Each structure stands twice: as C-alpha cells, then as structure tokens.
Amino acid sequence: MGKTIETLNRNELISRLRRELMQGTDEENSVCKVAAERGVFCKGFTRYTDEEFRKRYDWIVAKNPVMTREDLERIANDWQLGQQEVHELPTACDVQQKVYDTCRGWNDFTNEQLAKFYFQLTGDEIAIL
C-alpha cells in the first residue's frame, strides 16, 4: 500500500516550508543566499541573470555601478536580513510578500510549485486544499 499524502492549505504549507528553509539560515545567511548556494526552492539570487539581479537591486548598484555580482549578492543578503529585522518577520520570503521590493515572496509561487519545493526539501508529498 502506498504512502498517504497529507493535505494542507496554502498557509500550512508555507509554514512548513518556512520551517525547512530556516534550518539553513542564521544571522548571516538569508533564505535567498541559502537557496542560491544549495540550488533549492526558488534558487534565491541565482534565479536571476546578472542584468535582472542588478535591476532588482538597482538602488544598491547606483552607488557602485561596477561592483561585482559577488559583492552585490553579499550586500543584497545583508539587506534582506536587515529587512527581516525591521519588519520583524522570519524570512526574506515573508518580507517580500509584504513589501514587494525584489520579488513577491511566497506570492511568486503557485500552490503546486510550493508543494514541489516542499518535496524537494523533505521528500514528502503534500496535496493542497
């Protein structure tokens, strides 16, 4: 007999994803950085071409237009962590869902994509209500 697939609503799934993603984060590593380094979830900073990434963080690039991508990623990571602290939210995804600065956070993804990310992180299949 096959494994029973648990059914969750979107908020419950996001809560579980948040918990899984936060296992790799700390005061120096945002979800965006961790996802990029591990190639999981949305792939963080690496999901954007250099041009797209520079556009999303154009206010940072404006201060130093010749900065390397590595430098921009470091500053963007620090900025995401700062935003989490300012907004008192647990992840960059939660902040961006609220402020839509560099992406739309959890709202960038369909329920099916979130379920796929959860499977990728845990190996557990989830059905969405």
What are the pLDDT digits (tens) for 18-59?
A: 999 999 899 999 999 999 999 999 999 999 999 999 999 999
The percentage of residues in the chain with a pLDDT greater than 90, rounded to a whole number, is 94
pLDDT band at 1 (very low <50, low <70, confident <90, very high): low
pLDDT band at 4 (very low <50, low <70, confident <90, very high): confident
What residue numbers bound the domain in which 111 lies? 6-128
Q: Which helix (H) or strand (E) holds 126?
A: strand 126-128
CA separation, residue 14 to residues 3, 71, 93, 118 (Å): 22, 30, 10, 9
pTM greater than 0.85 (yes/no): yes
Q: How many domains, in total, are found in the chain?
A: 1
Identify whether 30 is part of a domain. Answer: yes
Cα three-residue angle 22-28-30, rounded to 5 degrees: 45
Identify whether 1 is part of a domain. Answer: no
Identify whether 41 is part of a domain. Answer: yes
pLDDT digits 0-9 by tens, 67-124:
999 999 999 999 999 999 999 999 999 999 999 989 999 999 999 999 999 999 999 9
Identify whether 23 is part of a domain. Answer: yes
